[in-house]
Structure 1
Amino acid sequence: MKERRQRRPRRRENTAEASRTPLGGVRRTQMITTYGVGALVAIDEKSYVVSGIDSWKVDDSTAIFEPRLQHWLGVQGFRLPPASNPPVGDGVRVRLFPEMYSCPKCHELKRFREFGSPRGKSLCGACEESLSPSRFVVACENGHLDDFPYFAWVHKRTSPVSSETGVRHELSLHSTGRTASLRSVVVRCSCGKKASLEGAFGGGAMQALGISCSGRRPWLGAEGVEVGCTSAPRTLQRGSSAAWFPLNRSALSIPPWSATLQKRVHDHYGVLEPLIAGKVDDALLDKVIEGTGLLQGSLFTRQEIVNAVRQRMELANTEPESEAYGGFEPAERLRREEYEQLMFGTAELERDQDFECVKPEGDRAALPFGIERSMQVKRLREVRALQAFTRVQAPDVMSPGTQPAALALEAQDWLPAVEVSGEGVFLTLDNDLLHSWERRPGTVQRMDRIRREHTRVLRSLARKSSSGRKDEAVDSPITPRYVLLHTLAHILINEWSLGAGYPAASLRERLYVSDDMAGMLIYTATSDSAGSLGGVVAQGEYKQLRATLESALNRAAWCSQDPPCMESEASGVNGLNLAACYACVLLPETSCETNNSFLDRGVLLGTPEDSSVGFFNRDN
């Protein structure tokens, strides 16, 4: 990471010069999950915000090939974030934020540049003590971010600013140490006014004082201000997780895009596509194909190359998903295409193909009760892209109220992404048993609790949204089969992390749920060796799956927090879980698609009051 500094303009011209002083480094994967565009990162004694992708130095050498995902997201491609120590270029730019700092000795509270700190250091120019960045910032649900308004907070909570001439207003920050609460943090002004920060974190604290959102987007520079934001700013801790939520999208590389031919054609698609679309003379097309070198030292024919280009053209001509932020992701077309490939596997394999899915060997009759199909995914490649981010409110693909923030000042034709390889097991449920279970009165009644709570949350977010959607039109897409598959995936991840030796954080779930889909993929797609040791694939063998599923169900039948856990009628974030806690089915957040929501182990084996709710209860 390199700091982007604003130097004093010469002759009142708005000029800026960037410093290339290296500050630190993070892993490339963290650039889309933890420290992406707009995120706050602490380096040494300073705090920074990661600049927009329009300031990143990337080129075609870092391009990532995944046409399905780029078509779905409406971009021309993906780029790998710059390395922490790139051989050329200057990595990722960051900007100093927050700008307000304080000195622990003289207690002065002002902008960093006003302290007169020596270049490259964070020291008070008067007492040479290390400066501390402001602990507090303000943000709104539209993604805007600004320094905490200390001056307005002090004076608007007491009385209007004095109109007397010659009155100075210099702020200082003090901590009485009497309590650990914000009551002990006091801001004083040289005019004589003072106020503690008690109550600053209230949802309407800023709005009550008439402090509106400034529309600032410091990660995009001074010109990134958006005028007219009506969202109420909220006070946040600088290091709070609510200050930055990534909105990631991912896709598996599946045939034909995972094949060697498509990957080779990709580099020459821009040249071949207009020729094939324009139906040029065969002789000219042959000459161009020969010039690409695709035929040299390969087993591909001219017609296979033409067919591959036409497949890519057909993909480009299909309509992408119409609802980028409000759809039900497990049922979207991107997942449906993967579901079909995972169901039937791969017949022909190439050495450098990214996708290999086969049926386990052995007697299929050994499949456990309730499971219809098991497929071993011996090779898979996943591309994860950072589409946008939010603040204050975590992104939810099922929520119409999510307000994404921009990654750049002007729209870019690419997004930052990473590619990871791994392995996994794909499972589907018995359709006949599933349809029967979904219609049981106990199942319907229990799942309606989750649906009601989720509908309430969605309608509340819709009312806050600027999209203009009426909250009456918003309804929860959660179905009984989704809760069943989601909970089943969680208990299997917990079980396999014990039996296969993988940490639970290295395993991930990917759900495929609709009226005609009921599947899950549990896989290890990580950037280290924990993703390709072969242990997860072995869990897909029929006899092994039967043993691990039985063990997982036995563990889920009882929780150390019972009976409160099983009898819970609303738990978890926004009350979207029933019988679920960290002692039984909850997972590390990196493993779950929905932030540990929509879980209920009661749907697995039933409850003490109603055993018919349990899908795997053979007595029903």
Structure 2
Amino acid sequence: MTPPPSRRRRGTDGSPVPARTLPRRGAVRRAQAITTYGVGSLVAVEQESFIVTGIDGAEAQWSRDEAPVIHEPRLARVLGVRRFRLPPASGDGSRDGIRVRRFPLWHHCPECHALDHVRRFNSPPGRNECAECSETLVPSRFVMACEDGHIADFPYWKWLHRGRRGDGEAGFCGGRMSLRSSGRTSSLRSVVLSCSCGVPDVSMEGSFRRGALKDLKIRCEGKRPWLRDAPDVPCSQPPRTLQRGSSSVWQPVLRSALSIPPWSDTRVQALAGHWDELRACSTPAEIEIHLKYIFDGAPSPMSARQVMDMLAAMEAEDPIGEDHGSDVDRERRYRALRDVEYERLCAGNPEDSGRHTEQFVCEPPTGDTTSLSGLGLVAPMLVKKLQEVRALKAFTRIIDPETSSEGHEAELSLAPTDWLPAMEVHGEGVFLRLDEDRIDAWAEHPGVAARVEHMRRRHQRVLTERASDPGRVPLSPATPRMVLLHTLAHVMINEWSLDSGYPAASLRERVYSGDEMAGVLVYTATSDSAGSLGGLVAQGEVDRLVPAVRSAIHRAEWCSADPLCVETEASGVGGTNMAACHACVMLPETSCEHNNGLLDRALLVGTPEDPSIGFFSRLLAP
């Protein structure tokens, strides 16, 4: 996770050169550096707390052997970068690591209860303890953050003095603050602040109220401690009090893409970094000349005709007539990327025993698929081999990434970079499709339209409230087709977690919903060899799929929270769900790409009052 211990490096002449003395603090997995402990997140190591620094300068700091380059041209073009880098390992055997800084800076001593900046405790060199009582210091439990991603230490002095200023240095009273816990209860009322200047003691009760800091005229100062030498920026967002270990402190904004033909051929990596020059070519002859230059006269692993096909595929995912630098255009291109993935999943890519460079193998099952028509399903596809690249684009604080606008995304670096941290996921999956004609007929049901419209309005209100620019509020994706597919994916993940050998947290959804799309890909979400054990693909065979779908629908018919669950009109964050809770269809956060929002179990099985609104209600008939 953090810089390595001091070591000796060799100079250009082979002589040893002393290295910087950088202490190592803990370790995290590479996947965690993207999904859990990415740039701007807080990491607790024993009794210390750190914030992961930005990627400024990381291109030179990370060695290529420990942080290799990841190539995914489709996703790179959408995100406006040239390449991706896998974060370096941080184990005992690694030579490098991810840089961190101490945060929060306010600590307190559990022995003498002193509360102050860590530097004022006069700790011995290399140790984090109180100089007076030799007790290990405890980082502040509370931090202050805003929706624009800024974060700072909690303003203890202002909270305690409540606007009463003394005559001390810089307007402060000059006293020594302390923090105690009465131990009477576990609530914030038992956490008491006091000061030697004699002001009345104040508890932390009420500090987490949405307008608590704003009422005391405490403003966000625009601090970005994860970026080195970053100046404070003007910020109009009201600050909020958060627990240091809360998931609201940091949430990643991830973008992912499947490696599909022709990009899934590993030979394409030999052309990485040369696509801009190749796109300028208009004929196979020009491409042939460039290939000779790229490989210095050696034979190219791909022919000029194959390169032309890849350039054509690249143009198909690039909408024309938009500003390529705008956020709106990038979202359009990201949706176009998903459209092409859907087409490839439907078409398949058979396994070729004579070629071992393919990272995408998708085939139909071998059994008779006619029995699926009674379930409303089209013939599934077995994705026996897939590769997904997940890139950390930015991060958010307080708000969910799915309900945020571009203005709320905090940057990973102070200066623009041509790369982003990312990870590769190798695994397997099952691609399910629903009969579009049956979906269209079902979506015309007045009860279905009313429920989805109720969810859409609530979701749109959340998007409007959290948008930084009222003129660029994203539209809610809630449609009958989308909510149905999303809920179906959740119940199938829960069902397959019982039979496939994978826990629900190791499975992930990828919903394809649109005017001409009605499918969902359930695939393994692990980044190691456990992602390709074959247990999930086996569930896609017809003889197993039919009973699995029936079992999943029957399980969704009842919830341990019924009748409250099925009768609720709003649940989840912002009320964007209806009949959905953690006892029935909600999944671990790693499995859902919509943060457990826009779910309604009633659209699968119906309600006791109106069973006909359930798309699969006929499966429940006695």
Same fold by TM-score greater than 0.5:
yes
Q: Does 1:448 align with 2:453?
A: yes
Instruction: State the Cα distance separating 1:316 from its structure 2 match.
Output: 7.8
Cα 1:22–1:94 change in 2 (3 A) is same
Q: Does 1:258 align with 2:258?
A: no
Q: Does 1:419 align with 2:424?
A: yes
Cα 1:294–1:448 change in 2 (3 A) is same
Instruction: State the Cα distance separating 1:459 from its structure 2 match.
Output: 2.2
What does 1:587-598 align with in structure 2 at a 5 Å threshold? 587-598=587-598
Contact 1:253-1:381 at 8 Å conserved across structures:
yes
Equivalent in the alignment of 1:107: 113
Contact 1:580-1:586 at 8 Å conserved across structures:
yes
Equivalent in the alignment of 2:494: 494
Output the amino acid matched with 1:546. Answer: V
Equivalent in the alignment of 1:335: 338
Cα 1:328–1:509 change in 2 (3 A) is farther
Cα 1:506–1:334 change in 2 (3 A) is same
**CA offset digits 1:570-618 (Å, max 9, x no partner):** 1222222111122221111111111111111111121111122011233
Cα 1:293–1:565 change in 2 (3 A) is same
Instruction: State the Cα distance separating 1:501 from its structure 2 match.
Output: 2.1
Equivalent in the alignment of 1:218: 225
Contact 2:281-2:287 at 8 Å conserved across structures:
no
Measured in 2, the distance between the counterparts of 1:35 and 1:243 equals: 11
Instruction: State the Cα distance separating 1:568 from its structure 2 match.
Output: 1.4
What does 1:125-136 align with in structure 2 at a 5 Å threshold? 125-136=131-142
Could you say what secondary structure the match of 1:379 adopts? strand
Output the amino acid matched with 1:370. Answer: G
Cα 1:233–1:18 change in 2 (3 A) is farther
Equivalent in the alignment of 2:393: 387
Cα 1:199–1:329 change in 2 (3 A) is farther
Q: Does 1:52 align with 2:54?
A: yes
Equivalent in the alignment of 1:273: 278
Instruction: State the Cα distance separating 1:263 from its structure 2 match.
Output: 2.4
Moved more, 427-436 or 148-157: 148-157
Contact 2:317-2:340 at 8 Å conserved across structures:
no
Output the amino acid matched with 2:62. Answer: V
Instruction: State the Cα distance separating 1:36 from its structure 2 match.
Output: 0.5
Measured in 2, the distance between the counterparts of 1:371 and 1:316 equals: 31
Equivalent in the alignment of 1:345: 348
Equivalent in the alignment of 2:80: 74
Contact 1:140-1:213 at 8 Å conserved across structures:
yes
Instruction: State the Cα distance separating 1:69 from its structure 2 match.
Output: 0.5
Measured in 1, the distance between the counterparts of 2:603 and 2:172 equals: 71
Measured in 2, the distance between the counterparts of 1:131 and 1:391 equals: 26
Contact 2:2-2:27 at 8 Å conserved across structures:
no
Moved more, 21-30 or 552-561: 552-561
Equivalent in the alignment of 2:564: 564
Q: TM-score, normalised by structure 2?
A: 0.89
Contact 2:142-2:153 at 8 Å conserved across structures:
yes
Could you say what secondary structure the match of 1:42 adopts? strand
Contact 1:2-1:19 at 8 Å conserved across structures:
no
Q: TM-score, normalised by structure 1?
A: 0.89
Contact 1:139-1:236 at 8 Å conserved across structures:
yes
Query: When the two structures are aligned, how many residues end up with a matched partner?
Result: 597
Cα 1:292–1:136 change in 2 (3 A) is farther
Could you say what secondary structure the match of 1:450 adopts? helix
Could you say what secondary structure the match of 2:540 adopts? coil
Could you say what secondary structure the match of 1:566 adopts? helix
Question: Which residue of the other structure, out of 99, 120, 125, is the alignment partner of 1:119?
Answer: 125
What does 1:511-550 align with in structure 2 at a 5 Å threshold? 511-550=511-550
Could you say what secondary structure the match of 1:458 adopts? helix
Measured in 2, the distance between the counterparts of 1:66 and 1:282 equals: 21
Contact 1:325-1:399 at 8 Å conserved across structures:
no
Equivalent in the alignment of 2:504: 504
Could you say what secondary structure the match of 1:218 adopts? coil
Contact 1:138-1:233 at 8 Å conserved across structures:
yes
Contact 2:192-2:202 at 8 Å conserved across structures:
yes
Output the amino acid matched with 1:216. Answer: K
Measured in 2, the distance between the counterparts of 1:283 and 1:89 equals: 41
Cα 1:338–1:155 change in 2 (3 A) is same
Cα 1:399–1:142 change in 2 (3 A) is closer
Measured in 1, the distance between the counterparts of 2:342 and 2:172 equals: 72
Could you say what secondary structure the match of 2:381 adopts? strand
Output the amino acid matched with 1:44. Answer: E
Instruction: State the Cα distance separating 1:237 from its structure 2 match.
Output: 0.8
Measured in 1, the distance between the counterparts of 2:496 and 2:151 equals: 41
Measured in 1, the distance between the counterparts of 2:287 and 2:541 equals: 50
Equivalent in the alignment of 1:42: 44
Measured in 2, the distance between the counterparts of 1:326 and 1:561 equals: 43
Contact 1:265-1:305 at 8 Å conserved across structures:
no
Measured in 2, the distance between the counterparts of 1:394 and 1:24 equals: 28
Instruction: State the Cα distance separating 1:529 from its structure 2 match.
Output: 3.1
Cα 1:127–1:373 change in 2 (3 A) is same
What does 1:366-381 align with in structure 2 at a 5 Å threshold? 366-367=371-372, 368-381=374-387
Equivalent in the alignment of 2:552: 552
Contact 1:331-1:512 at 8 Å conserved across structures:
no
Contact 1:330-1:514 at 8 Å conserved across structures:
no
Contact 2:439-2:481 at 8 Å conserved across structures:
yes
**CA offset digits 1:139-167 (Å, max 9, x no partner):** 0111001011111112225x232469996
**CA offset digits 1:318-364 (Å, max 9, x no partner):** 66878747998998111101000001101564312110111111222
Instruction: State the Cα distance separating 1:476 from its structure 2 match.
Output: 2.8
Output the amino acid matched with 2:336. Answer: R
Measured in 1, the distance between the counterparts of 2:46 and 2:116 equals: 20
Measured in 1, the distance between the counterparts of 2:156 and 2:294 equals: 65
**CA offset digits 1:262-310 (Å, max 9, x no partner):** 223226657x638847998799657425526444xx6x54554566567
Contact 2:433-2:518 at 8 Å conserved across structures:
yes
Cα 1:131–1:435 change in 2 (3 A) is same
**CA offset digits 1:524-564 (Å, max 9, x no partner):** 13123331111111121122211110111111112222222
Output the amino acid matched with 1:421. Answer: H
Output the amino acid matched with 1:227. Answer: V
Equivalent in the alignment of 2:96: 90
Question: Which residue of the other structure, out of 187, 201, 214, is the alignment partner of 1:207?
Answer: 214
What does 1:576-591 align with in structure 2 at a 5 Å threshold? 576-591=576-591
Residue segments in structure 1 that go unaligned for 5+ positions in a row:
6-16
RMSD of Structure 2 on Structure 1 (CA): 3.0
Contact 2:263-2:310 at 8 Å conserved across structures:
no
Measured in 2, the distance between the counterparts of 1:87 and 1:142 equals: 37
Cα 1:422–1:287 change in 2 (3 A) is closer
Equivalent in the alignment of 1:29: 31
Equivalent in the alignment of 1:603: 603
Residue segments in structure 2 that go unaligned for 5+ positions in a row:
6-18
Measured in 1, the distance between the counterparts of 2:294 and 2:128 equals: 59
Output the amino acid matched with 1:423. Answer: E
Measured in 1, the distance between the counterparts of 2:125 and 2:396 equals: 33
Cα 1:52–1:518 change in 2 (3 A) is same
Instruction: State the Cα distance separating 1:255 from its structure 2 match.
Output: 0.8
Equivalent in the alignment of 2:16: none
Question: Which residue of the other structure, out of 241, 244, 250, is the alignment partner of 1:235?
Answer: 241
Contact 1:358-1:377 at 8 Å conserved across structures:
yes
Contact 1:335-1:512 at 8 Å conserved across structures:
yes
Could you say what secondary structure the match of 2:226 adopts? helix
Could you say what secondary structure the match of 2:618 adopts? coil
Measured in 2, the distance between the counterparts of 1:36 and 1:283 equals: 42
Measured in 2, the distance between the counterparts of 1:330 and 1:575 equals: 30
